Chain A
Amino acid sequence: MADMVTLTIDGRRVTANAGTTILEAARDANIDIPNLCSNEELHPYGSCRLCMVEITHKKRQRLVVSCIHEVAEGLEVKTATERVLNVRRLVMHLLLSRNSTHPRLREIAAGLGIEKSMFPVDYKGCILCGQCVRVCREVVGVSAIGFKSRGDTRAVATPFDEPPGDCIACGSCHYVCPVGVIPMEEKDGVRRIWKTDFPMAKCSVCGKYFAPVKQLEYFRKIANLPENHFDTCVDCRSTKK
């Protein structure tokens, strides 16, 4: 067992493993802190700033991002002080000015008592949480997409806005996007993602299209599998045996 530390969250004594973040400790204690960019499979990133909390440590009070800040012995955390809520409301106004329609954002906004953004709405969809970029790098391991530009023109894109050369069309970015703005379509044996068409492999037994050809090639390469390993889909592979 790892070392345990005891901290206080909203007046409740909580025990957590040393090295975990405040957000994780709160989640274990069933205390809700809104967040959009954290994913336990990815390294903490702290881009959405919604999970802001106020901590008192050795008589010093300050605001920290709970998805990055680690727990410490005797730490006192408050998740809903007026100071915290002010920051969250400002963040939410800013997020809503980029994406004013997504139900998940609207739900969190409603919880903070926000109807619509106080800033002019310039619909971009993406809230720049970076989960897609991080998944592509950390989980899939291909880094086919990344951030481009700075400031208000910052966006997730493929290199030079051209068809992504390294993309294996696995769809992880589409799956992980909290606001669902990465479109992926499948039709007639072609998967379309990042404005590029990827051909799908066809099962040699049932004739179903089951995965993108590039994804299977990538799996064969990293797992050192024989050439014919992905001739059949998962269902037919077990039927044949």
Chain B
Amino acid sequence: MESLNVYASRLVTKREHFAPGHRACQGCAEALAVRLVAKALGQNVVVASATGCMEIISTPFPFTNWRVPWIHVAFENAAAVATGAEGAYRALVRKGALPEKGTVFLGMGGDGGTSDIGLQALSGAFERGHRFIYVCYDNEAYMNTGVQRSSGTPFGASTTTSPAGKLKAGQVTWKKNMPEIAAAHGIPYVATACSSYPFDLMKKVEKAAKAGGPAYIHILSVCPTGWGLPSEKAIWIGRLAVETGVFPLYEVEQGRYRITVDVPAQRPVGDYLKPQGRFRHLTPEIVEQIQTRVTAEWEKLRAKTAL
């Protein structure tokens, strides 16, 4: 799939449902991810968006970037509102008040809105088995309010609430494995994606829309501002995250694991950590520690795909 990129990119639809002219920072890979998700889902979709970067950049009053129905809700209940809309729609269809048009319901939030604050509502929505998609745009901290740590922040990253100093080298806990939590609910479709691999991402979103039950997609969204990167390096660092094995791209379909972008020869994690300002303080020992963890996680994932 990857090496098809040149002509395939010309054949993807040019219809945009997330309009240009939003107020994201230069090089924001999260806005790119939103655009690709909106593109893959088409026009027949209802979006419920948690508070976060994507809400403030796309809907500064009185403007909007959304060409599809879009609801802004509080941090904790994006999943609840998306499933509520879905429930209402199905009820109206059942009573014959609306025709069945295959409308897709999408809940979305950042890593904070998903793995910290919104986890309870999300878990409930998965458990109730609504036919909806939840997309987590993971930029690994609360970037909207100025880079505070979240449970999605990786080990060793310096943020304003986990600053690197004499006593501690940034974040002291490991990143919460949100896709695994979603997969543990036994929902039909879970996938990880990255906006540096657009075709892979769009394919997964299309699959999620057809899953026939709750689907969860975790998208690594590079944030040049919060990660301490030049804006033109956003796509490149996303690819490095995959090539070093820090963020493996896989999908879980009906409990079956499959790695979608395989990396036969992984690069050392140093290649990924070094260009980023938030990891600037790391000593070789800590890098070694991260490498050990990444390798172990990768082996675990490999073991699951072999099942």
Contacts and interface: CB of A to CB of B under 8 A. Distances in A.
Interface in B114-161: none
A41 B8 contact: no
Interface string A153-189: 0000000000000000011101110000000001000
Nearest to B263: A208
Given A30-B44, A235-B243, A171 B11 contact: no
Contact of B14 (A40, A171, A176): A40
B11 A176 contact: yes
Contacts of A207: 265
B95 interface: no
B107 to A, nearest CB: 21
Contact of B3 (A135, A139, A210): A210
Interface string B205-242: 00000000000000000000000000001001001100
Contacts of A215: 6
Interface string A123-146: 000000000000100011000000
Nearest to B196: A235
Contacts of A200: 3
B43 A30 contact: yes
A27 B236 CA distance: 35
B184 interface: no
B300 interface: no
Nearest to A31: B101
B106 to A, nearest CB: 16
A140 B7 contact: yes
A175 B243 contact: no
Contact of B13 (A40, A186, A209): A40
B101 to A, nearest CB: 7
A211 interface: yes
Interface in A34-79: 39-41
B236 A235 contact: yes
Contacts of B101: 30, 32
A211 B7 CA distance: 12
Contacts of B13: 40
Contact of B10 (A27, A41, A174, A219): A41
Interface residues of A toward B: which range? 20 to 34
A239 B4 CA distance: 21
SS class, residues of chain B in contact with chain A: helix
Nearest to A215: B6
A238 interface: yes
B236 A175 contact: no
A238 B240 CA distance: 11
A139 B8 CA distance: 10
A175 B239 contact: no
B11 A175 contact: yes
Contacts of A172: 4, 7-8, 11
A139 B43 contact: no
Contacts of B8: 171-172, 175
Given A40-B13, A235-B243, A186 B236 contact: no
Interface string B1-32: 00110111011011100000000000000000
A34 B13 CA distance: 17
A100 B273 CA distance: 51
Given A30-B44, A235-B239, A235-B243, A135 B7 contact: yes
A135 B15 CA distance: 19
Contacts of B233: 238
A45 B239 CA distance: 38
B7 A139 contact: yes
B4 A139 contact: no
Contacts of B240: 235
A139 B11 contact: yes
Contacts of A170: 4, 6-7
Contacts of B10: 41, 139
A206 B239 CA distance: 14
Contacts of A135: 7, 11
A210 B5 CA distance: 10
Nearest to B239: A235
A75 B243 CA distance: 54
B297 to A, nearest CB: 22
A137 to B, nearest CB: 12
B43 A175 contact: no
A106 to B, nearest CB: 13
A170 B11 CA distance: 13
B3 A186 contact: yes
Contacts of B265: 206-207
Given A139-B7, A170-B6, 9 more contacts: A30-B43, A40-B14, A41-B10, A140-B7, A170-B7, A175-B8, A206-B265, A235-B240, A235-B243
18 contacts: A30-B44, A40-B13, A40-B15, A41-B11, A139-B7, A170-B4, A170-B7, A171-B3, A171-B7, A172-B11, A175-B4, A175-B7, A175-B8, A175-B11, A186-B3, A200-B3, A219-B6, A238-B233
Interface of B: 3-4, 6-8, 10-11, 13-15, 43-44, 101-102, 233, 236, 239-240, 243, 265
